Amino acid sequence: MHPFQHFLLAGFQQVAADTWANDERIVVQAVFFDLVPDLPATLTEVPALQRGMAKLAATQGGALIEAGVTTIGGQPALRQVIKVKLPDRPQGQAFLGSFIVPKAACSAVLRVQAAEGGVSGQREAMVMSRVGPADYFRPHPYGPDGEGGLPSHVADDPAYDPQFPQHPLTRVRQVMAQLAQQVALHPQFAALPPFTR
């Protein structure tokens, strides 16, 4: 049983059993984990979930940009977007979006990832020039536990996506929005007991 069913994104080609990619180097991956989810809180404990996921991203050298609970395929899911440094380059970032559908003994994860290519940091530089350095950086939206990885700043705000339509963060959010509207979950997976702590 594969938990995710019925999604097809225009321009994406299947490149592996559970992986799709397009010409913009955006990758979508559907993964099933036959393990108890390692989430720091349940989906009903949103602030604790956000703080825990922010801390996890920071300790791994990245940053949680946004996290919240949504519905995908009729099931509650954690929707999050993080940013990480590109491991093979001195500059640049990758943006990873995911829908995590946790169950009592397993989980289904739908990931979307895109990385900066060529010149990096243009979105950040242009937004900083508009708002000024004093208003650019901000405390982490989910509290001090999110500090320590990549900095939190206003350029990651979705309000700037329309001005940077080809930026990988914008594209990750767009693909996630498309997936959220069309993904179905296998009825057997959907019927499994929910995740609790």
Dump pLDDT digits (tens) for 39-60: 999 999 999 999 999 999 999 9
- Beta strand 63-72 with 75-85 is antiparallel
Give the other-Cβ count within 10 Å of 70's Cβ: 13
pLDDT of residue 80: 98
pLDDT of residue 2: 77
Q: Would the pLDDT of 68 be above 90?
A: yes
Q: Is residue 151 part of a domain?
A: yes
Q: Is residue 81 part of a domain?
A: yes
Q: Would the pLDDT of 1 be above 80?
A: no
pLDDT of residue 113: 97
Instruction: Give the list of residues 6+ apart from residue 159 with CB closer than 8 angstroms, or none.
Output: none
Q: Is residue 197 part of a domain?
A: no
Average pLDDT over residues 168-195: 95
Domain count, the chain: 1
Q: What's the predicted TM-score (pTM) here?
A: 0.95
Average pLDDT over the chain, rounded to whole?
93
Structural domain that includes position 157:
4-190
Q: Is residue 53 part of a domain?
A: yes
Q: Would the pLDDT of 6 be above 70?
A: no
DSSP 100: E
Say how far residue 3 (Cα) sits from the centre of its chain.
19
Domain CATH for 66? 3.40.1000
Cα distances from 120 to residues 63, 115, 124, 136, in angstroms, run 17, 9, 9, 17
Q: Is residue 112 part of a domain?
A: yes
Q: Is residue 32 part of a domain?
A: yes
Q: Is residue 196 part of a domain?
A: no
Q: Is residue 195 part of a domain?
A: no
